[in-house]
Amino acid sequence: MNKWIRLMVILMPFWFLPACSSALSLPAAAYVNLDQRVPLPTPVNSAVVPLRVAVAAVISPQGTVESYTQLLETLQSRLNRPVELVQRRTYLEINDLLEQGQVDVAFVCTSAYIAGHEKFGMELLVAPQVNGETVYYSLLLVPNDSVANDLADLRGKVFAFTDPISLSGRMYPTYLVRQQGSTPEEFFGRIFFTYSHDQAILAVANKVADGAAVDSLVYEFFLAREATIGQKTRVIHRSPPFGIPPVVVNPALRPQMKLELQNFFLSLHQDLQGQAALRAIGVDRFVPIEDSAYQSVRELLSDLNATR
Amino acid sequence: MKIPPSLQAIFRRFWDIAGGVSVRSKILGIVLGLVLLLGLGITVQVRQALTRTMAAQLAEQSVSVARDLAARSTDLILLNDLFALHRLLQETKANNQNVAYAFLLDTQGQVLASTYGESFPKDLLAANPIEPTEHHRTLILATNQGYVWDTAVPILQGQVGVARVGLSDATLRTTLATITNQLLLTTALVSLIGITAATFLTWILTRPILDLAQAAQAVAKGDFTQRVKRWANDEIGLLATAFNQMVSELEKADEIRREREILRRQLLEKVIVTQEDERKRIARELHDSTSQTLTSLIMGLKVMEGSCADLQTQLQARELRQIAIQTLEEVHDLAMQLRPRLLDDLGLQAALERLVKEWQVRHRIAIDLMYHVTQERLPDVVETALYRIIQEALTNVARHAQARNVSVLIEQRGDELVAVVEDDGIGFDISKITIGDGAQAHLGLAGMQERAALLGGTITIESEVGRGTSIYIQLPIPKAVEDETENYDFARR
């Protein structure tokens, strides 16, 4: 018996092996008790209400941040007030935010302006001027090596729309298909939405889509940045000029504020910081604009609705 | 090199334990010790290597999961798609079982979405702060659920927020535990095999040694027929051969010794028998011839004394007769001492009674004889031997003991004759006077011993200074007359 006790004592270090088999010793930076939870603090409403600027998803959210940060920073320093960038997947969501007053200023698409203006009196603030013009076009893009030369050649192919209510990305190509006496669903083999123009361009460049209709402003802006896009894509059709996507405000915005904002945009090109901010979004300067500039688009859309 | 005493003591202590156990335990100890040491060493090594590798992997994985989460959450945060963010976090956690938690912070450092839902661990947010300019930052956090590799990655250079992912060490711990248990199990299995092998080895090694030990013990007891089997052609086999040779030599030597002993005994017996016969002859001669002559002389002198007128001559004749009578008595005594006729004629009891009586008269010491022997006459050799032994014992008592009382007891116990001679004299220190030391003064004792030994008996002496002396004599009584004749053949001649 005694012998066995002695043996056990000798083998004692081995008892602890299984016990310590899952024990670890590592240099830890801090100790945290993961089970000691506290409710998340509800965001405090800061005393200073930020100016909320929405940018419609003409280009992808990341691209938007990269392009508009400088502009918004300039705005923030000029107004001496925090500025918050708001983005949503679709144009309609931005319109809703404007209508509910959750957004003060918005860069919207032409068709979104027409819809918003109709629905709740969305007001024009200013419009960007690009290459001396305040118009843009819808471009029908195909991959560079595609045999297609006009829309008819894209029958039964894969087509990328941008936003459901984008004028250049969906309304205009739909209008073209209707003129062929068909509907997009019948005409194209397959349709998908990219929700932004830069992604539609990339979809064609990478041959994910056989064709897409995009905003000429975005396409040119893209070409200036990435030359390879020009080598991979080809424009087979250019629309008549449309009124450029404007900067709009909620009709309920204080007139004082509206004036202040208008002054800011209109004078942006007058100093170096402003010029840099404008360059970042591919705009020469901002100019005042009237609702009449969008009349042609309005007619096209009503034509489209009529044929539906 | 001088070994410090403490180390020596430890070594001695170790050797006390290690040397004290059997060869089996030693071999088992070596095998088990090595197996366990190896198992333990490998386990520790593997655990360390595994921990290092897996910790590095977890750190890398933590970075890649966090970067992936940052990339995938960018647009969702920008679009304020909280539901999609929530789903993304859930998917991140579901797709990677190591993910303990994942959460996203906005530019203000507020939690946008987390796998924890509504509540949030109190200290977790502050545990891994990161600058927007950093690429990523990985820290090991100790938590109540084990270690967590926490990586923070700024989303879009911090313009959108921060993605944080924590990878738990659960897999690492499970793997470690599994590997450790497997290694320990293997070690235990190998130990078991080791024990079996060691037991077998021990059996092979110790069997011939145990055989040798057994044979050696038998040889020590005088059994020279023992031979051990040579199991193997190794060192132990060599030892077995040497042992067998040694036993053969011992056997030969023992045989020679035995033969010499027999010769010596035969010689001794012859000497004693011859001595007895000679004494008997002389005693008879003294009794028959010398005594007769002296008696005739006494008768003659008595006649002469009566017939002679001369007073002077008469007185001389009486004086001579007195001398002759004394001489006759002395001759009687001498004959008696040499060989009491009673012993031959009436047996041991009568002879002893006579001996005792005369001894008492001569030495004036009280003596008491008790004789309880059922057999009427004992074999001649036994009677003679016992008589001589008791005679010698009494002579010693008279010479050295200064005793006042002596008792002699003769008793038959079955086939044995037991005699005890006790005195109340001064005694002596036995350790100083051993029978076999060959000293001249103790030849008497040696003689007694030899006589007893010749008949297969023993003599034991008990004595202490001041406490008297007891001599125990034990003699076997030969059974049949035929045996006697055969055994003591020469004694009768």
Give A87-134 as a 3 state SS string.
CCCCHHHHHHHHHCCCCCEEECCHHHHHHHHHHHCCEEEEEEEECCEC
Q: Does residue B212 form part of some domain?
A: no
Among A34, A67, A88, pick the best mutation site for testing chain B contact (most B Cβ within 10 A).
Answer: A34
Q: Is A190 on the interface with B (CB under 8 A)?
A: no
Q: Where are the beta strands (DSSP E) in B90-217?
A: 99-105, 111-114, 119-121, 137-143, 146-155, 161-168
Structure token digits, residue A290: 């009237």
Q: Where are the beta strands (DSSP E) in chain A?
A: 30-32, 37-39, 51-55, 83-86, 105-107, 123-129, 135-136, 138-143, 158-161, 190-193, 211-215, 233-238, 242-243, 247-249, 285-287
Domain CATH number, residue A206: 3.40.190.10
Do A85 and A169 sit in the same domain of this protein?
no
Contact between A38 and B122 under an 8 Å Cβ cutoff? The reply is yes
Do B280 and B168 sit in the same domain of this protein?
no
Do A104 and A172 sit in the same domain of this protein?
no
Please tell me which of the candidates B43, B159, B169 has its beta carbon nearest to residue A24: B169
Helix (H) or strand (E) holding B41: helix B23-78
Contact between B460 and B472 under an 8 Å Cβ cutoff? The reply is yes
**B492 φ, ψ (degrees, to nearest 5):** -85, -20
Do A230 and A190 sit in the same domain of this protein?
yes
Q: Does residue B207 form part of some domain?
A: no
Question: Helical H runs in B221-310?
Answer: 235-285, 291-307
Do B381 and B407 sit in the same domain of this protein?
yes
Q: Does residue A149 form part of some domain?
A: yes
Last residue of one domain, picked from the residues A224, A243, A262? A243
Hunting for tokens 């910081």 — which residue is that? Answer: A273
End-to-end CA distance of chain B: 79
Q: Does residue B152 form part of some domain?
A: yes
B positions 104-143 inside 8 Å of A (CB): 110-111, 114, 116, 118-124, 127-128, 139-143
Least confident window among A3-7, A114-118, B11-15, B112-116: A3-7
Rounded Cα distance between B77 and B79, Å, is: 5
Q: Does residue B303 form part of some domain?
A: yes
Q: Is B149 on the interface with A (CB under 8 A)?
A: no
Q: What pLDDT score does B434 carry?
A: 55
pLDDT tens for chain B, 493 residues long, are: 567 778 888 888 888 887 778 777 888 888 888 888 888 889 889 988 988 898 899 999 999 999 999 989 988 888 888 888 999 999 999 998 889 999 999 888 888 889 988 888 988 888 888 888 889 999 999 988 888 999 999 998 888 899 999 999 888 888 888 988 898 889 889 888 888 888 888 888 888 888 888 888 998 888 888 888 888 788 888 888 998 999 899 899 989 999 998 898 888 888 888 888 888 888 888 888 888 888 898 888 888 888 878 888 888 888 888 998 998 888 888 887 777 777 878 888 888 898 899 889 888 889 999 998 888 788 888 888 888 899 888 888 888 888 889 999 999 888 888 999 999 888 887 776 654 444 445 667 778 888 888 888 888 888 888 888 899 999 888 775 444 444 444 444 3
Do A265 and A280 sit in the same domain of this protein?
yes
Identify the band that residue A193 occupies on the pLDDT scale cut at 50, 70 and 90: very high
Do B97 and B147 sit in the same domain of this protein?
yes
Contact between B363 and B333 under an 8 Å Cβ cutoff? The reply is no
Parent domain of B156: 23-178
Q: Does residue B460 form part of some domain?
A: yes
Do B237 and B172 sit in the same domain of this protein?
no
Contact flag B180-A34 (C-beta cutoff 8 Å): no
Q: Is A40 on the interface with B (CB under 8 A)?
A: yes
Parent domain of A110: 51-131+244-295
Do A193 and A260 sit in the same domain of this protein?
no
Q: What pLDDT score does A22 carry?
A: 52
Q: Does residue B391 form part of some domain?
A: yes
Contact between A267 and A274 under an 8 Å Cβ cutoff? The reply is yes
Do B273 and B363 sit in the same domain of this protein?
no
Length of chain A: 308
Among A207, A225, A274, CA closest to A63: A225
Identify the band that residue A228 occupies on the pLDDT scale cut at 50, 70 and 90: confident
Q: What pLDDT score does B442 carry?
A: 60
- Which pairing describes strands A211-215 and A158-161: parallel, antiparallel, or unpaired? parallel
Do B334 and B361 sit in the same domain of this protein?
no
Structure token digits, residue B354: 């006579």
Rounded Cα distance between A146 and A143, Å, is: 5
Q: Is A287 on the interface with B (CB under 8 A)?
A: no
The arithmetic mean of pLDDT across residues A267-296, rounded, is 91
Among A26, A48, A103, pick the best mutation site for testing chain B contact (most B Cβ within 10 A).
Answer: A26
Least confident window among A3-7, A222-226, B107-111, B406-410: A3-7
Q: Does residue A288 form part of some domain?
A: yes
> How many CA atoms does the CB half-sphere of A235 hold within 13 Å?
13
Rounded Cα distance between B315 and B312, Å, is: 5
DSSP B398-464: IIII--SEEEEEEEEETTEEEEEEEE-S----GGGS-GGG--GGGHHHHHHHHHHHHTT-EEEEEE-
**B480 φ, ψ (degrees, to nearest 5):** -100, 160
Do A165 and A262 sit in the same domain of this protein?
no
Read off the DSSP letter of residue A39.
E
Do B52 and B124 sit in the same domain of this protein?
yes
Rounded Cα distance between A266 and B353, Å, is: 167
Q: pTM for the full model?
A: 0.59
Contact between A113 and A246 under an 8 Å Cβ cutoff? The reply is yes
Q: What pLDDT score does B261 carry?
A: 87
A72 vs chain B: nearest CA distance in angstroms? 13
Q: What pLDDT score does B449 carry?
A: 83
Q: Does residue B436 form part of some domain?
A: yes
Read off the DSSP letter of residue B478.
P
Rounded Cα distance between B88 and B99, Å, is: 13
Domain CATH number, residue B393: 3.30.565.10
Do A104 and A251 sit in the same domain of this protein?
yes
Structure token digits, residue B480: 């049949």
B142 vs chain A: nearest CA distance in angstroms? 5
Contact flag B144-A35 (C-beta cutoff 8 Å): yes
How many structural domains compose chain A?
A: 2
- Which pairing describes strands A37-39 and B119-121: parallel, antiparallel, or unpaired? antiparallel
Identify the band that residue A92 occupies on the pLDDT scale cut at 50, 70 and 90: confident
Structure token digits, residue B243: 């042992």
Contact flag B123-A24 (C-beta cutoff 8 Å): no
Q: Does residue A306 form part of some domain?
A: no
Residue of B nearest to A34 (CA): B121
Q: Does residue B198 form part of some domain?
A: no
Q: Is B40 on the interface with A (CB under 8 A)?
A: yes
Do B287 and B378 sit in the same domain of this protein?
no
Contact between A243 and A293 under an 8 Å Cβ cutoff? The reply is yes
Last residue of one domain, picked from the residues B339, B358, B379? B339
Please tell me which of the candidates A22, A34, A62 has its beta carbon nearest to residue B144: A34
Q: What is the ipTM of this complex?
A: 0.73
Structure token digits, residue B122: 């109190």
Do A117 and A216 sit in the same domain of this protein?
no
Please tell me which of the candidates A26, A34, A41 has its beta carbon nearest to residue B140: A26
Do A257 and A237 sit in the same domain of this protein?
no
Mean pLDDT of chain A: 86
Please tell me which of the candidates B51, B55, B79 has its beta carbon nearest to residue A88: B79
Q: Does residue A21 form part of some domain?
A: no
Q: Is B156 on the interface with A (CB under 8 A)?
A: yes
Do A238 and A139 sit in the same domain of this protein?
yes
Rounded Cα distance between B328 and B322, Å, is: 10
Q: Is A14 on the interface with B (CB under 8 A)?
A: yes
Residue of B nearest to A36 (CA): B121
Contact flag A33-B121 (C-beta cutoff 8 Å): yes
Rounded Cα distance between B282 and B285, Å, is: 5
Q: What pLDDT score does B284 carry?
A: 83
Residue A280 CB neighbour total at 10 angstroms: 15
Do A85 and A154 sit in the same domain of this protein?
no
- Report the DSSP beta bridge partners of residue B161: B155
Structure token digits, residue A67: 């392009």
Q: Is B171 on the interface with A (CB under 8 A)?
A: no
Helix (H) or strand (E) holding A271: none
Do B34 and B157 sit in the same domain of this protein?
yes
Do A255 and A177 sit in the same domain of this protein?
no
Rounded Cα distance between A14 and B184, Å, is: 9
Q: Is A87 on the interface with B (CB under 8 A)?
A: yes
Read off the DSSP letter of residue A289.
-
CA angle, residues B290, B294, B295, in degrees to nearest 5: 115
A88 vs chain B: nearest CA distance in angstroms? 4
Last residue of one domain, picked from the residues B119, B145, B178? B178
Do B326 and B368 sit in the same domain of this protein?
no
Please tell me which of the candidates B111, B114, B121 has its beta carbon nearest to residue A32: B121
Domain CATH number, residue B61: 3.30.450.20
- Residue partners of A295: CB distance under 8 A and separation at least 6: A243
How many structural domains compose chain B?
A: 3
Contact between A134 and A287 under an 8 Å Cβ cutoff? The reply is yes
